[in-house]
Amino acid sequence: MAQATITIKQRLNYAPGHAAAFTANQELFNQVVAFYFDVIQAHSQILDLGSQDALRALERLTHATEKYPNPVMPLSALREDIPAMFRRAAINAALGLAKSFHGNLKRWRTRREKAHAKGKKFTDRPPVPPRSWNKSVSFYAGLWRERTVNSVMLKVWTGVCWSWIKVRISGRDLPAGYAVGSPQLIWHGNEWWLHTPVEQAFTAPAKVEEQVKEQTTIKICAVDLNLGEQIAVCSVQNAEGTILATCFIGGGDAISGFRKMVLGRIARNRSKTGIIAEGEQDNGALWQKIRRRDDNEAHRISRRVVQFALEQGASVIVFEHLGALKPEKGKYSRRGNLKRAYWMKGRIFHYSKYKAWNERIITCRVSPRNTSRDCASCGEKVIRYTQGWHPQEGYTPGAPLVRCPACQMRGHADRNASLVIGQRLFARYRQAAKQEKPQSRRGRSGRVVKATGVIVSQDAQRCEQPSILAARHGDRHEHGIAQGEVFWMDECPPSLPTQLRLFEE
């Protein structure tokens, strides 16, 4: 079973005095978290246990019971009357922090050893345990009750005593059909909000490989992410390669204009003070502006990509791997802008991934190699141009239109790229299925998950020569491809010539 988790964020209405109680409650919670972090530091073998066992071990060390009346490090030294569920929430928070800290420490030690083994000087400082604690309180079952659509009772430490406080909830409702998890009180700048994770169990969708190989009615949504105005271009195609729908998601110019303006302001501020100080007060606010806008855009675009895939009934969304960011020349605002546009591509992928998963759609990536240079109809190299600007020949990076000299295909360059991305996913598994004899299938399947278009070609290289020739022969003659015709007829992958050409280069 797979799990879909969404966090529902709701604004709270509470009496002004209750804000102080929530603050006191969070302070106490963080004291308990810090206490358990120290206990774990003193007994670091606890981190090797599973989470349930670790919880049990920590309670035994700190909490007096009839069976174990004398704990080694009693929590009662901090406070006597901490509710069991409050304690457990704090233990789990401390375990999470300790795991992350020890993971970092371990990686740092490995890096140091590697550097020493090579005889290099190693100057990276080791990670330090957190010095301040600002965890939000989770209300485990027993610490909240009587939850309705617009109110909930929370058990909090008011600074004087434990008391039940009723708060009113506004904002979106909890979705139906989900199991409600432990709510958290979160400080949002100047008021307290309630974040509630809701979960739904579902049967995990089949893996991409199985879907492509076994489902003849599969539809996939291929996404090309760009640095230009059309940030994302999505196209849906079926197993035969028929293009069912295309969606352009714009807004790139607006966000890039905004970034350029703010980066310019940052640069001017710096030139005035003569110091490059990122944490400086006014620039801090400007950086935050950029970060928030970028994040917002990534959420907006990823949401639209997933919605489009959902509307079209696609069960797989395919992206290309991010290529390396090419160093750019130009002004500070231009370089900074491009760098952020590039980072946003990565963020759009990650946001789409979890959003799609919650809709039972799988996300995967293929090799970015030449996706915008190949023709989606015949696989030949395309001409990329701007209407009425350049002579219509050669490849002008970033130009909006393409024309294929071989098959006379004309169209939008990013749409062409998204089609190539989709075809590449089909080619990955079709080719595997075609070239392989059953005995080699097992060995392949593990690698295929990560495989890229380029790896496919390496696989072809690894095959014995005659089989390649046979495959190519079959393609060229049995299924001669008419100009402009749609691909993926029968089980014969017509991208084979393209793939083969890749490794001949």
The residue ranges that bind Zn ion (CB under 5 A) are: 375, 377-378, 380, 404, 406-407, 409
Coil, helix or strand at residue 146: coil
For Zn ion, the closer of residues 145 and 410 by Cβ is 410
For Zn ion, the closer of residues 25 and 498 by Cβ is 498
How many CA atoms within 13 Å lie on the side-chain side of 296? 9
Smallest distance, Å, CB 375 to Zn ion?
Answer: 3
Q: What type of residue sits at position 195? A: H
Cα–Cα distances (Å) from 241 to 426, 453, 493, in that order, read 9, 17, 11
For Zn ion, the closer of residues 356 and 382 by Cβ is 382
Q: What type of residue sits at position 300? A: R
Smallest distance, Å, CB 485 to Zn ion?
Answer: 10
| Per-residue 3-state assignment (H helix, E strand, C coil) for 331-348 | CHHHHHHHHHHHHHHHHH
**Bridge partners of residue 192, in order along the sequence:** 187
**Degrees, nearest 5: CA angle 233-235-238:** 165
Distance CA 235, CA 422 (A): 8
| Cβ-Cβ contacts under 8 Å for 330 (sequence gap 6 or more) | none
Smallest distance, Å, CB 377 to Zn ion?
Answer: 4
For Zn ion, the closer of residues 230 and 377 by Cβ is 377
Smallest distance, Å, CB 480 to Zn ion?
Answer: 15
Tokens representing 307?
């919605």
For Zn ion, the closer of residues 46 and 481 by Cβ is 481
Smallest distance, Å, CB 494 to Zn ion?
Answer: 11
| Cβ-Cβ contacts under 8 Å for 484 (sequence gap 6 or more) | 377, 378, 407, 408, 409
Detail the DSSP E strand segments found in 104-176. 137-138, 144-145, 151-157, 162-170
For Zn ion, the closer of residues 348 and 382 by Cβ is 382
Look at residues 352, 372, 370, 371 and name the one whose alpha carbon lies nearest to residue 362. Answer: 352
| Cβ-Cβ contacts under 8 Å for 312 (sequence gap 6 or more) | 219, 221, 236, 244, 245
Angle between helices 453-462 and 496-504 (to 10 degrees): 80
Smallest distance, Å, CB 405 to Zn ion?
Answer: 8
CA dihedral 288, 291, 293, 295 (to 10 degrees): -140
Distance CA 320, CA 279 (A): 35
For Zn ion, the closer of residues 15 and 406 by Cβ is 406
**Degrees, nearest 5: CA angle 312-318-322:** 140
Smallest distance, Å, CB 412 to Zn ion?
Answer: 14
Coil, helix or strand at residue 190: coil
For Zn ion, the closer of residues 22 and 488 by Cβ is 488
Q: How far, rounded to the nearest angstrom, does the alpha carbon of residue 172 sit from its chain's CA centroid?
A: 24
Smallest distance, Å, CB 434 to Zn ion?
Answer: 22
Smallest distance, Å, CB 404 to Zn ion?
Answer: 3
Smallest distance, Å, CB 502 to Zn ion?
Answer: 16
For Zn ion, the closer of residues 316 and 409 by Cβ is 409
For Zn ion, the closer of residues 340 and 403 by Cβ is 403
